[in-house]
Structure 1
Amino acid sequence: MQAMVYRGPYKVRVEEKDIPKIEHPNDAIVRVTLAAICGSDLHLFHGLMPDTRVGTTFGHEFIGVVEEVGPSVQNLKKGDRVMVPFNVYCGSCYFCARGLYSNCHNVNPNATAIGGIYGYSHTCGGYDGGQSQFVRVPFADVGPSVIPDWMDDEDAVLLTDACPTGYFGAQLGDISEGDTVVVFGAGPVGLFAAKSSWLMGAGRVVVVDHLDYRLEKARTFAHAETYNFTEYDDIVLQLKKDTEYLGADVVIDAVGAEADGNLLQHVAAAKLKLQGGSPIALNWAIDAVRKGGTVSVLGAYGPIFSAVKFGDAMNKGLTIRANQCPVKRQWPRLFEHIRNGYLKPSELVTHRIPLEHIAEGYHIFSAKLDGCIKPLILPNAA
């Protein structure tokens, strides 16, 4: 099969790999029909995720058709059109029993906090991802779901991570009717978080970013007010002015350690551009929320070498809620929102790239070229 393969920082290419095989009775092999590049894939692409091994195939957002199932699989059959959450999880451990699928205790020998993630380094279990023509899906009776007949493929693939993660971020904010919600980051997850905030009763939604084309999408897709933080000496002060100097009720950090810049910038946190390894967005969130408010953290953070304002968070009486999204838990409500016309995830898709050109796709997405917001990968494009 053809698959994207990691060859080192900033180096990905398409190579021939063996089609994966059934390794456990509850495995399925899925022929990928549509995949995506996620902002968190850029951490891998730029060499910033520990234990990202040469030869790994990325891709934790994908849908496809079941090609083969193991002898124990009961809920899927060959030919089923399925969507696969980015979480690899067993469904039966202490954490899965409580709906914490992203914290599964049985699928990742390399970490005590996070469960498994497709295509996201050996730190997250070492599972090959879906930026390929075929992928092995463990625990096939637990994770994948058959895509409803009425749902478009491009909506379905965005329900494997970006859309439910944004929705989950709004959930973590515990939004009350009429609340003012500020979202840092206008990538796909931030845009979905902003859109979802309205669905949960927000009275005002504000999105902060530094790219004008993404802020325009925040206005048209999420119907949010927007700020380009580069146009202000102090974006937190501006947000305070706009909230009668109280601060927002809820702030969602959908930036995290954004995978930009060189390693020195990541480690030193020296460049005020929401850099990877820097807690700038998180500190802005702590500063911009009102006393007694809630900070929801969705952004992916690795090691942070400069200080988080935890003392300020404590003294302000903040609630800080964070986790990787347990994707499948969000699906029932999101299915209804999509079916009823309140949400159309595929409106964020800007690029559709054949698998053979995936290196160019990573370049376009990483460098924020051509108005790129969400690129999809077509594994079997002619």
Structure 2
Amino acid sequence: MRALKYHGAWNVALEEVPDLRATGPDDVVVDIRFCGICGTDLGIVSGSYPIAVPGVTLGHEATGVVAECGPAVTNVKVGDRVVINPTPYCGQCRMCRTQRINHCVNKMGTESGVSYDGAFADRFLTTSRFVHVLPDHVSLQAAALTEPLSCVLSGVRKIQPPSMAAYTYVFGAGPLGLLYAWALSLKGLAPAVIETSPERLSFAQDRLPDGPAPTLPSTTPAAATFRQYGRAPRRRGRHHLGAARRALSTDGMRWDLHVDRSEGEAVRRSTACTSRTAACR
């Protein structure tokens, strides 16, 4: 079978490796159908996020079809369409017991695409606890967004806005930025999405929530505020956040909540636009 192997910064190769088999009683082998390219993958390959073990197979946002099962597996069967949880956890450490299973202290050697062979491959080996059958109406392609969506929902769960009228904005209109916009909208907020890339602006125009929750003023629909910012003036070659704030705010107030999905650059330039009591994510 084929696997994309990581050997160092800018040193990856598609290699032939032995086929994976279900040799343990609780093993599940999945034929991979889709695997998303995450910012973590890009950081590993570029060397800006050097956390992966050399020789590991990359990839962790994956779905596929069960190919083999161990004799003790009861929750899935061969032929099931599944989404994979790429970050096994022990369930016993302090992090797991405080609902931070993605920071399990015992995950070294088990984290897909980092310290354990991931899903940029024809097959992936895991255990029954970390595969989940998909509903019939959810495609394998759409379900590949499950892992990034879980990260977004974990972040939104920790956000406590001062009110549903809080001025809210999301930096970055990539996949996670758009998912945050949807999740915050469903929470009752009306986030403005801020992006400086014309290509991402164009892509995101028709992929934002239609507008705020019914209880919010209809004067600040997400799509409209997004387009307004796209036309905000530049200063020294950069979008000026103060101008964006004035364009998006109906009363000149600073924003109360911001979510940064722009690798931190936006936050470093946003403090002047954020209230003293603002929540950041």
TM-score band by shorter chain is 0.7 to 0.9
In structure 1, C-alpha distance between the alignment counterparts of 2:77 and 2:270, rounded to whole Å: 46
For these two proteins, the number of residue pairs brought into alignment is: 259
1:197 aligns with 2:204: no
TM-score, with normalisation over the residues of structure 2?
A: 0.80
Of 197, 203, 207, the match for 2:193: 207
Distance 1:52 1:100, change over 3 A: closer
Distance 1:194 1:77, change over 3 A: same
The DSSP-based 3-state class of the residue aligned with 1:163 is helix
Aligned to 1:153: 140
Distance 1:205 1:133, change over 3 A: same
Give 1:169 shift.
3.5
Distance 1:174 1:86, change over 3 A: farther
CA contact (8 A) 1:29 1:136 kept: yes
Q: Deviations over 1:88-118 (max 9, x none)?
A: 2234444334432212232227xxxxxx531
In structure 2, C-alpha distance between the alignment counterparts of 1:86 and 1:24, rounded to whole Å: 18
Q: Which moved more, 1:20-29 or 1:204-213?
A: 20-29
Of 273, 277, 281, the match for 1:292: 277
Structure-to-structure mapping, 1:1-382, within 5 angstroms? 1-22=1-22, 25-108=25-108, 117-120=111-114, 126-138=115-127, 140-141=128-129, 143-159=130-146, 161-175=147-161, 176-202=163-189, 204-223=190-209, 224=222, 225-226=225-226, 227-228=229-230, 231-233=234-236, 235-241=240-246, 242-243=248-249, 244-256=251-263, 279-296=264-281
TM-score, with normalisation over the residues of structure 1?
A: 0.61
CA contact (8 A) 1:62 1:130 kept: yes
Give 1:29 shift.
1.6
Q: Which amino acid aligns with 2:168?
A: V
Q: Deviations over 1:115-171 (max 9, x none)?
A: x53102xxxxx1111111111114x22x22111112111211111x22333344333
Give 1:37 shift.
1.0
CA RMSD of aligned residues (A): 2.6
In structure 2, C-alpha distance between the alignment counterparts of 1:230 and 1:131, rounded to whole Å: 42
Give 1:10 shift.
2.7
Distance 1:169 1:220, change over 3 A: farther
In structure 2, C-alpha distance between the alignment counterparts of 1:78 and 1:153, rounded to whole Å: 16
CA contact (8 A) 1:170 1:194 kept: no
Give 1:69 shift.
2.8
Q: Deviations over 1:262-282 (max 9, x none)?
A: xxxxxxxxxxxxxxxxx4333
Q: Percent identity?
A: 28
Q: Which has the higher contact order (CA 8 A, sep 6+)?
A: 1
The DSSP-based 3-state class of the residue aligned with 1:117 is coil
State the structure with more CA Rg.
Answer: 2
